[in-house]
Amino acid sequence: MKKVFAILMLLPLMAAMITGCEKEPEDLSITLGAQSNPTVPGFYSVAQNKTYTMSQAADNPGVIDILCFYEAETGNNIALASPGSGIRDIFTGDDMPDNWTIKNTTYFLQTTLTADQFDSVQDGDALIETSFDSENARKKAKDVQVGQVWAFRTEDGTYGLLHATAVEQGINGTVTFLVRTK
């Protein structure tokens, strides 16, 4: 009887210990490569939270919301856009977005949110949608810099925030960001 009592007393303690040991979910970083990056995919589906190479994206154009490109001459530098943004002469080959039959458009707006403010936002928070201003949004997030937080709205109406955590300029460059969506 003492053993049964001891086991019953230990069960809640063990459950509390196991629950206390669970890790907080870590932010997933998304890294996109610019048009000539040979190793990092440059296309992203918000709904699937997945990156694609250009050939994979050409096979699934309806899911692509964001792409990365570099263009120094116009001041875009490392930039984010979407297949429907109308950028031309950046990508080459048969799989380039210019040739896609479905070209989703995502709009971007640089916010004044800080990294700490971004970190306090959870998926689904109202701030995600209220940070987006459709009157001032553009089809490109130009010259993305570390620390910037961009609000976006995809073609299907998903709102989100991107926090740029790393940027490497150049046609082989990359941008790394964290995402929150609503």
Find which of 2-11, 18-27, 134-143 is predicted with most confidence, using mean pLDDT. Answer: 134-143
From 66, 85, 81, 96, select the one nearest 142 (Cα to Cα): 81
Res 2: pLDDT: 53
% helix / strand / coil in the chain, to the nearest 5? Answer: 25, 25, 45
> pLDDT-derived band of residue 24, with 50, 70 and 90 as boundaries?
very low
Domain parsing of the chain, residue ranges:
25-181
Mean pLDDT of 35-45: 98
Token digits of residue 35: 């048009």
**pTM listed for this prediction:** 0.85
DSSP alpha helix (H) spans, the chain: 2-21, 54-59, 115-120, 126-130
Q: Residue 63 has what pLDDT? A: 98
User: pLDDT confidence of 1, banded at 50, 70, 90?
Assistant: low
DSSP 138: B
Q: Work out the pLDDT band at 169, boundaries 50, 70, 90.
A: very high
Predicted confidence at residue 18, as pLDDT, reads 41
pLDDT the model gives residue 28: 78
pLDDT tens by residue, 104-126 = 999 999 999 999 999 999 999 99
pLDDT (tens digit, 9 = 90+) per residue, 63-102?
999 999 999 998 899 999 999 999 999 999 999 999 999 9
Share of the chain above pLDDT 90, in %: 82
Neighbours of 98 (CB within 10 A): 15
User: Mean pLDDT over all residues of the chain?
Assistant: 89
For residue 155, the tally of other CB atoms under 10 A from its CB is: 18
User: Encoding tokens for residue 101?
Assistant: 């039959």
Provide the pairing of β-strand 50-52 with 107-110. Answer: unpaired
Confidence of residue 3 (pLDDT cuts 50, 70, 90): low
3-state secondary structure of 121: coil
Contacts of 97 (CB under 8 A, 6+ apart): 54, 57, 58, 61, 64, 67, 83, 87, 91, 103
With 80 as the cut, is the pLDDT of residue 20 above it? Answer: no
